[in-house]
Amino acid sequence: MMTAAKPDPGSDRTVVISRTFAAPRALVYRAFTDPEILSSWFGPRGFDVPVCELDVRPGGRLKIVMRGPDGTDYPNTGTYLEVEPERRLRYTNEMDDHPKSWHDMLAGHRGVPVGTPLEPPVATVEFSDVPGGTLVTITSTFATAGDRHAFLETGMRAGWAACLDKLAELAATDFTGEQARDIVMTRFIAAPVALVWSAFNDVDRISAWWGPDGFTTTAKKFEFRVGGEWVHTMHGPDGTDHPNRSIFREIVENEKIVYDHDDGSGTGPHMFRATTTFKSVDGGTEITHHMVFADPNERRRAAGFGAIELGYQHLGNLAAFVTGK
């Protein structure tokens, strides 16, 4: 196996491509590391991926075979150099088994004699939380500026754009292939269920932590019973007030809370049914917040204004309140 190109960000040997996806970082990372998911979006439109093998660990090997509309296979193999779960992947991209005609064509763009070996480029994929979802940054580092030029001339950016378009479409379905109406968030809290539950059933306690980072909450009515109302205003860090109304539909102590939520108008992306469940795990609590919207469009609107990111902040503030950390 040949020596891979060494990363040199910012040089004339690199190509950087980025895209933001309306999905949590954990799910987007999974789309790059789960063979079943990756094979559903990798490759330009019209291409299939009949082989997708990923041993996602430092030193582990990968093999992805793209099959073109004419039946031609384009095998990609490589070795994972770095794996930082949900943060960063770095791997070689070996194309030795691509068709000879492809290598001959690439050699012309590289400005080298036909048959000149191609040193494997190195791909670095980074995952970052941003408002509304996850930013993915893909940096490809080539051995020479000529190699970089050749890949750009043969449609590298267009190819990645087509792949990421397919990934964005899949992300909009929560990677299920169906237009999702729900958003699900889960967090482990290092505190017993009874203590976490107590942060929900008292107006002073729930008002002390409720909301994303920088928000405060003022309750006007709090009736913690089936059929009861919880009317409150969340005050944003920019001074904006956000009215909220919830009607409790089901309450099972230390297990589940179900409520219908809106902003008082009864319409729009703030209208959903929420189910919060509490599960004892390893001496702590696994809390899951599941929101179901009227239709996929309302769900997309909610995700678009940051419901997923803000929801995880919300659960983080709950954890800090309960544990005192």
Q: Which residue has the higher pLDDT, 217 or 296?
A: 217
Per-residue pLDDT band for 253 (boundaries 50, 70, 90) equals: very high
**Which stretches within 178-290 are classed as H helix?**
193-198, 203-209
pLDDT score, position 264: 77
Least confident of 153-157, 220-224, 245-249: 153-157
Range(s) within the chain of domains with CATH label 3.30.530.20: 14-171, 182-323
Q: Which of 17-26, 199-208, 268-277 has the highest mean pLDDT?
A: 199-208
Burial class (CB in 10 A: 0-12, 13-18, 19+), 274: middle
Per-residue pLDDT band for 268 (boundaries 50, 70, 90) equals: low
291, 272 in Cβ contact below 8 A? yes
Instruction: State the Cα–Cα distance between residues 79 and 122, nearest whole angstrom.
Output: 10
Least confident of 39-48, 150-159, 257-266: 257-266
pLDDT score, position 270: 67
User: What is the per-residue pLDDT across 153-203, written as a single tens digit (0 to 9) for each?
Assistant: 999 988 998 899 889 888 877 666 555 677 878 888 999 999 999 999 999
Instruction: State the Cα–Cα distance between residues 99 and 29, nearest whole angstrom.
Output: 30
pLDDT of 121 > 60? The answer is yes
Measured CA distances, 314 to 109, 171, 208, 213, 302 (Å): 52, 22, 12, 7, 15
Q: What are phi and psi for residue 84, nearest 5 degrees?
A: -120, 100
Cα angle, residue 257 at apex, residues 302 and 276 outer, rounded to 5°? 45
Closest C-alpha among 59, 178, 79 to residue 123: 79
pLDDT of 302 > 70? The answer is yes
Assigned CATH topology for domain 14-171? Alpha-D-Glucose-1,6-Bisphosphate; Chain A, domain 4 (3.30.530)
- Is the pTM higher than 0.75? The answer reads no
User: What is the per-residue pLDDT across 69-86, written as a single tens digit (0 to 9) for each?
Assistant: 899 999 999 999 999 999
pLDDT score, position 267: 58
55, 38 in Cβ contact below 8 A? no
pLDDT of 108 > 90? The answer is yes
Q: Which of 15-19, 162-166, 203-207 has the highest mean pLDDT?
A: 203-207
For range 227-233, the mean pLDDT? 96
Q: What is the DSSP letter of 179?
A: -
CATH superfamily of 182-323: START domain (3.30.530.20)
| DSSP H/E element including 159 | helix 156-171
- DSSP string across 185-215: EEEEESS-HHHHHHTTSSHHHHHHH-SSTT-
Give the tokens for residue 262.
Answer: 């809106």
Give the tokens for residue 79.
Answer: 């070795």
pLDDT score, position 24: 85
Ramachandran category for residue 43: left, alpha or beta (phi over 0 → left; psi -120 to 50 → alpha): left
Q: Average model confidence (pLDDT) for the chain? A: 89
pLDDT score, position 295: 81
Q: Kindly state the percentage of the chain with pLDDT values over 90.
A: 68
